[in-house]
């Protein structure tokens, strides 16, 4: 599983069907339709659930920035997600920060953590890199377990959502939803811009062939560190939002299982695609939520879904669609 990403271009290049003449317009229409869906979704689906979904979707997208575009499998992303949730909750509750400042505190905290963990872990590659991120994230977990400000297993509870910019009351569920949606879209836009920038191109070249990137004169470690910190900060953005949505921060978000869950979400949706992690997160969160009230054991079903996915759709749900005839006719590039 360490490096499950396929090489879509090799297959796409062989028998590429003629692109549909209106491909670009259809792609824009799909994006607009998804956007519309997100705007009207709270009318039909429970808003708190949607907000949770968006938080995890952004978390998975941030993780994908690293796994999908840079080829680095971090197994410690829970530290950034849960760490930021703690920082945000503490800032909002104890220091009385407004929500945007509280989330900013969380993001800065997560980026700082990302810098430290990245500096250490990036000295090694492959599975060693992964194990170091796991070890450091576990260290952070034990720190959270014992530190006074996190209140151990009680967690930081009753965090006020507060007023956005001191003006807009976020205690209304719908207001909160549109705030979360806006932050989510900004996050996704940042990732999209980042991936399609020259910086992102260099990251992809590192993913494809690190030695060649070095020989071209790029300081590979610095680029990787940049991507790592960026990914940590965006994971922090998601974690901070989640703390405000649910009004608490607990140990659940910093456990290694959370790091595993985000890997699962990304693989299910499709690594290296912008929308894949969003769909993967949606699937996992929906399963967890709807199986909770059923008689099925949640963890077993999630495991089965993962096995089916690995056996049948290696590229993930969105990845398979992009690579399908229809997807290619519409001009979807698995890189976007």
Partner 1 sequence: MRKFLTSVAFVGLSVAPALAEVSDGKVKIGILNDQSGVYADFGGKFSYEAARMAVEDFGGTVLGAPVEVVTADHQNKADIASNIARQWYDTEQVDTIMELTSSSVGLAVQALSLEAKKITINTGAATSELTGAQCSPYGFHWAYDTHALAVGTGGALVEEGGDSWFFLTADYAFGYSLEENTSNFVKEKGGTVLGAVRHPLATTDYSSFLLQAQASGAKVIGLANAGMDTQNAIKQAAEFGITAGGQRLAALLFTLAEVHGIGLDAAQGLNLTESFYWNRTDETRAFGQRFMDRTGAMPNMVHAGTYSAVLSYLKAIEAAGTDETEAVAAKLHELPVSDVFASNGKVAANGRMISDVYLMEVKKPGESDTPWDYYTVKATIPGDQAYLDPAKSGCALVK
CB of 94 to partner 1, least distance (A): 14
**56 within 8 A of 265, measured Cβ to Cβ:** yes
**Nearer to partner 1 (CB atom), residue 66 or residue 243:** 243
CB of 35 to partner 1, least distance (A): 24
CB of 217 to partner 1, least distance (A): 46
**Nearer to partner 1 (CB atom), residue 158 or residue 211:** 158
- 170: which 2 tokens? 């976020």
Partners of 168 in the β-ladder: 164
Taking residue 36's Cβ as centre, other Cβ atoms within 10 Å add up to: 10
**Nearer to partner 1 (CB atom), residue 16 or residue 139:** 139
* Strand residue runs (E) in the chain: 163-164, 168-169
- 279: which 2 tokens? 């769909």
**Nearer to partner 1 (CB atom), residue 7 or residue 171:** 171
CB of 80 to partner 1, least distance (A): 17
**241 within 8 A of 104, measured Cβ to Cβ:** no
**88 within 8 A of 122, measured Cβ to Cβ:** no
CB of 292 to partner 1, least distance (A): 5
**Nearer to partner 1 (CB atom), residue 211 or residue 293:** 293
228: nearest Cα among 100, 129, 315: 129
CB of 139 to partner 1, least distance (A): 12
Backbone angles phi, psi at 13, to 5 degrees: -75, -30
**Nearer to partner 1 (CB atom), residue 128 or residue 143:** 143
**241 within 8 A of 85, measured Cβ to Cβ:** no
- What is the contact surface with partner 1 in residues (CB under 8 A)? 46, 48-49, 52, 142, 145-146, 151-155, 157-158, 242, 246-248, 250-253, 288-289, 291-293, 297-299
**Nearer to partner 1 (CB atom), residue 15 or residue 153:** 153
Q: Give CA separation, 89 vs 7, 11, 164, in Å.
A: 41, 47, 15
- 7: which 2 tokens? 């090489």
CB of 284 to partner 1, least distance (A): 11
Backbone angles phi, psi at 164, to 5 degrees: -65, 130
């Amino acid at each position: 599983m360490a490096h499950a990403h396929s090489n879509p271009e090799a297959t796409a290049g062989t028998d590429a069907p003629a692109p549909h003449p209106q491909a670009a317009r259809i792609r824009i229409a799909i994006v607009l339709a998804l956007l519309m869906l997100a705007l009207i979704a709270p009318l039909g689906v429970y808003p708190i659930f949607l907000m949770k979904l968006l938080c995890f979707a952004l978390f998975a997208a941030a993780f994908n920035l690293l796994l999908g575009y840079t080829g680095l499998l971090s197994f410690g992303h829970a530290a950034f997600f849960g760490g930021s949730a703690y920082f945000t909750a503490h800032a909002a509750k104890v220091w009385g920060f407004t929500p945007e400042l509280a989330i900013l505190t969380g993001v800065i905290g997560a980026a700082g953590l990302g810098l430290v963990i990245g500096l250490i872990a990036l000295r090694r590659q492959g599975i060693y890199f992964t194990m170091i991120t796991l070890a450091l994230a576990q260290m952070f977990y034990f720190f959270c377990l014992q530190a006074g400000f996190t209140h151990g297993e009680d967690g930081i509870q009753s965090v006020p959502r507060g007023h956005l910019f001191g003006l807009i009351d976020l205690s209304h569920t719908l207001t909160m939803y549109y705030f979360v949606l806006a932050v989510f879209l900004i996050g996704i836009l940042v990732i999209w811009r980042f991936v399609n920038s020259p910086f992102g191109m260099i990251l992809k070249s590192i993913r494809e062939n690190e030695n060649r990137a070095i020989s071209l004169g790029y300081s590979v470690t610095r680029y990787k560190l940049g991507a790592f910190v960026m990914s940590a900060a965006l994971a922090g953005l998601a974690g901070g939002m989640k703390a405000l949505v649910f009004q608490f921060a607990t140990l659940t978000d910093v456990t290694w299982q959370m790091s595993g869950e985000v890997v699962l979400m990304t693989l299910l949706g499709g690594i290296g695609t912008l929308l894949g992690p969003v769909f993967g997160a949606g699937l996992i969160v929906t399963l967890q939520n709807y199986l909770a009230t059923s008689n099925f054991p949640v963890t077993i079903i999630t495991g089965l879904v993962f096995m089916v996915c690995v056996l049948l759709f290696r590229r993930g749900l969105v990845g398979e669609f992009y690579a399908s005839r229809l997807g290619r006719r519409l001009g979807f590039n698995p890189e976007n």
